[in-house]
């Protein structure tokens, strides 16, 4: 029997320390609900889990973004529905004014309502917004620029190859300030290298009001508005820069590049081709019927586009929710503790701790037995 080194007590103390440490870990797991509370618990597991957690939080925000996108579209579509109602009302008025039973004084009264409706369409298009962002005035449309003052790109098709184009416009205006068929468009460079959707001499040009519409063989369009008072580049080479930038971009995924650009074409009287609508004469009313049919088609096309966006966002939302559910399940399998199993482990460690404490006490008492030898 030895006094200086009580090996039994050392062994009992070591075992008790191990049991107490394990009991502390088990207690932490039971109180937090997580299997991994520190990096030392599972170094590779915590790295995987934290990546999953970042993905999960990103997915949940993307779901919210998709919901916001649907709200934006619903706001724009509601305004467009009202505009279309006004266009249809103007069509009724144009049909009424086209009949020979009315005189010009009657048509002047009809024209007053048409003018008010045109002003209201312009107002709605200019003021409809979501969270302070205008939706119908072109802020959410693809941007394009020209090198000449007085020449403005009002619209171009989605499928046009982006880049810089060259052309020369020689406008001819009538007494009312509208472009005539004598207006000429001469094309320069075909467009970006390798571009199959370029504009060249085979394109069809059409003028209406102050707008020139250029259409290629694949029915892609560019609309250029010419201001009679400020345009000074008649016959001179002019560049068109089609940027492809401007659509409202929604982050619909947790990773970089997972975006959906939502393009809302500009709603304006000129784009709807009713800026020159005049039903104060029988001839003007008959022409107006065709103009309003085109305007109705334009609004219908925009609403159809928005409807397709909304359907896509709703499908995206469902897909994101399914992905979030799967990632949550995987994250839970790594991080969440099995309470029943851990409680069994905790009970076992409690017993071992109590037993270790008892054995350490008994081991510490053994050296006292040496006192009997000294009596």
Quickly state the pLDDT bin for 195 (edges 50, 70, 90): very low
Query: Which residues, in sequence order, are bridge partners of residue 208?
Result: 211
pLDDT at 190: 47
Q: How far apart are CA 71 and CA 251, in angstroms?
A: 15
Q: Taking Cα atoms as reference points, which of 76, 111, 110 lies closest to residue 299?
A: 76
193 has a pLDDT exceeding 90: no
Residue pair 178/188 in contact (Cβ under 8 Å)? The answer is no
Percent of the chain with pLDDT over 90: 42
Q: Please calculate the CA angle 106-107-113 and round it to the nearest 5 degrees.
A: 105
Query: Which residues, in sequence order, are bridge partners of residue 238?
Result: 167
Return the CA Rg of the chain.
Answer: 38
* Helices (H) then strands (E): counts for the chain: 5, 12
Q: How far apart are CA 314 and CA 310, in angstroms?
A: 6
Mean pLDDT, range 210-231, rounded to an integer:
88
- Torsion angle defined by CA atoms of residues 60, 64, 65 and 67, in that order, rounded to the nearest 10 degrees: 140
Whether the pTM exceeds 0.95: the reply is: no
Quickly state the pLDDT bin for 200 (edges 50, 70, 90): low
Angle between helix axes 104-127 and 43-98 (nearest 10 degrees) is: 170
pLDDT at 194: 42
Mean pLDDT, range 144-164, rounded to an integer:
88
Residues in the chain: 375
Residue 224 CB contacts under 8 Å (≥ 6 apart), including other chains: 146, 151, 152, 153, 154, 169, 211, 212, 214, 240
Q: How far apart are CA 65 and CA 60, in angstroms?
A: 9
Q: Please calculate the CA angle 40-44-50 and round it to the nearest 5 degrees.
A: 95
The answer to which of 96-105, 182-191, 249-258, 298-307 has the lowest mean pLDDT is: 182-191
Quickly state the pLDDT bin for 40 (edges 50, 70, 90): confident
112 has a pLDDT exceeding 60: yes
Residue pair 189/161 in contact (Cβ under 8 Å)? The answer is no
Q: How far apart are CA 248 and CA 261, in angstroms?
A: 5
């Amino acid at each position: 029997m030895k006094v200086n080194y009580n090996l039994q007590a050392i062994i009992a103390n070591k075992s008790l320390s191990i049991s107490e440490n394990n009991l502390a870990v088990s207690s932490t797991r039971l109180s937090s609900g997580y299997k991994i509370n520190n990096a030392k618990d599972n170094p590779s597991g915590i790295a995987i889990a934290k990546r999953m957690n970042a993905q999960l939080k990103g997915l949940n925000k993307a779901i919210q973004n998709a919901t916001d996108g649907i709200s934006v579209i619903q706001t724009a579509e509601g305004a467009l529905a009202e505009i279309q109602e006004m266009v249809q009302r103007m069509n009724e008025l144009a049909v009424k004014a086209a009949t020979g039973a009315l005189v010009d004084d009657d048509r002047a009264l009809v024209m007053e309502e048409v003018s008010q409706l045109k002003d209201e369409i312009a107002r709605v298009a200019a003021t409809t917004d979501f969270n302070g962002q205008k939706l119908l005035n072109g802020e959410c449309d693809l941007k394009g620029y020209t090198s000449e003052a007085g020449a403005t790109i009002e619209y171009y098709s989605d499928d046009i190859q982006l880049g810089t184009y060259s052309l020369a416009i020689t406008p001819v205006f009538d007494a009312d300030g509208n472009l005539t068929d004598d207006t000429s468009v001469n094309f320069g460079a075909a467009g970006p290298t390798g571009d199959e959707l370029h504009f060249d001499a085979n394109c069809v040009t059409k003028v209406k009001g102050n707008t020139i519409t250029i259409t290629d063989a694949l029915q892609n369009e560019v609309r250029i508005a010419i201001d009679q008072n400020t345009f000074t580049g008649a016959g001179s080479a002019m560049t068109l820069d089609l940027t492809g930038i401007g659509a409202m971009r929604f982050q619909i995924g947790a990773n970089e590049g997972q975006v959906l650009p939502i393009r809302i074409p500009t709603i304006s009287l000129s784009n709807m081709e009713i800026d020159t609508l005049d039903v104060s004469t029988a001839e003007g009313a008959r022409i107006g019927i065709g103009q309003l049919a085109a305007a109705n088609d334009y609004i219908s096309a925009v609403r159809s586009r928005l409807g397709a966006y909304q359907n896509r966002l709703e499908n995206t939302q469902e897909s994101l929710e399914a992905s979030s559910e799967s990632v949550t399940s995987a994250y839970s399998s790594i991080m969440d503790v099995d309470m029943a199993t851990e409680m069994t482990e905790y009970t076992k460690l409690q017993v071992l701790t109590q037993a270790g404490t008892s054995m350490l006490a008994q081991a510490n008492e053994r050296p006292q037995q040496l006192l009997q030898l000294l009596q």
